[in-house]
Structure 1
């Protein structure tokens, strides 16, 4: 599934890029990223940039390439999580997801442990 969303620069800056981030996923060339966006993606456009965000919702028990990509990103954002990048959304991935959501609430969505659109919109970027 692919979709396109057009946003003004102000909306993007306020809603998604409020924290200091790089504007491209660091692992854009990785197989995890490629496999994940093959499952579903949306393309966001601002006045000057566009980027791709996965649309696959992840929760406890999920097991796929998007979980591996999320684990990789959570390790960047939450280094103390020290997650194995194994594709299994277990208790440690759940705890790291909730820690990430708490840290970036409300931008990253509710603190529910589910990686949905709001969490993805923050998680795909890299901390500076």
Structure 2
């Protein structure tokens, strides 16, 4: 369904081929150019530039595609809100694109042929991997990535420690730490946690924890528990 407009364009163009080969007096030849032009228009208008605040069928198509690729959109409703924005940014991070949250020609093209990430570690149940190089969090299950979240880890002066741990402690609510507010933190090493935050920039900006958007943590909360493996790597 994602490439329907392009397939329609190809099909219409192909249908015009035999008519072009007919004698000049044949009626179908005269209609070949208008049909092809219409097909090109359909292909172009089906993929408009989208950004936060956009609405409509193209946004629904985008959300469905991102959901199929396991990005944390939150729901398919045709409204380009904050969760869709963070899903787009996470997709751009994984695919090496500009992290602007805008779906233009390059992002649409990458959605056709996306990088499909794989977890580094395999566990019989759920596990969490923070990829610091890409600034994303993977929720994996049985060796398969089942959800991809936008994230922001520790900045250069307060880097996030790398290593292999498990969730040791959880708080279901806001936690006021010395360095700020943490929403539903899942502590994996000393005071370091994967937690929700109201600010998740496109670059490393935290004091060492791994931030994800608050709504994303709400959707992730029921999946993580004490003992869930956590892997942090670059």
- Unaligned 5+ residue runs, structure 1? 1-25, 43-52
Inter-partner Cα distance in structure 1 for 2:42 and 2:74 = 24
Inter-partner Cα distance in structure 2 for 1:80 and 1:121 = 17
The structural deviation recorded for 1:28 is: 4.4
- Unaligned 5+ residue runs, structure 2? 9-38, 117-234
Inter-partner Cα distance in structure 2 for 1:96 and 1:68 = 13
Inter-partner Cα distance in structure 2 for 1:83 and 1:125 = 22
Which position in structure 2 is the counterpart of 1:86? 77
Which position in structure 1 is the counterpart of 2:63? 71
Structure whose alpha-carbon radius of gyration is higher? 2
1:122 to 101, 110, 117: 110
The structural deviation recorded for 1:83 is: 2.8
Q: SS of the residue aligned with 2:62?
A: helix
Higher relative CO (Cα under 8 Å, sequence separation at least 6) belongs to 1
Q: In structure 2, do the counterparts of structure 1 residues 39 and 98 end up closer, same or farther at CA, with 3 Å as the change threshold? A: farther
Which position in structure 2 is the counterpart of 1:102? 93
The structural deviation recorded for 1:85 is: 1.0
CA contact (8 A) 2:63 2:76 kept: yes
Residue 57 (str. 1) matches residue 59 (str. 2): no
2:43 to 37, 41, 44: 41
- CA RMSD after TM alignment: 3.3
Deviations 1:16-39 (A, max 9, x none): xxxxxxxxxx5446xxxx8xx998
Residue 112 (str. 1) matches residue 100 (str. 2): yes
Q: Counting strand residues as a fraction of each chain, which structure ranks higher?
A: 2
Deviations 1:48-78 (A, max 9, x none): xxxxx9430000000011100000111122x
Q: Counting helix residues as a fraction of each chain, which structure ranks higher?
A: 1
TM-score normalised to structure 2 length: 0.31
Aligned residues: 85
Inter-partner Cα distance in structure 1 for 2:76 and 2:41 = 18
TM-score normalised to structure 1 length: 0.54
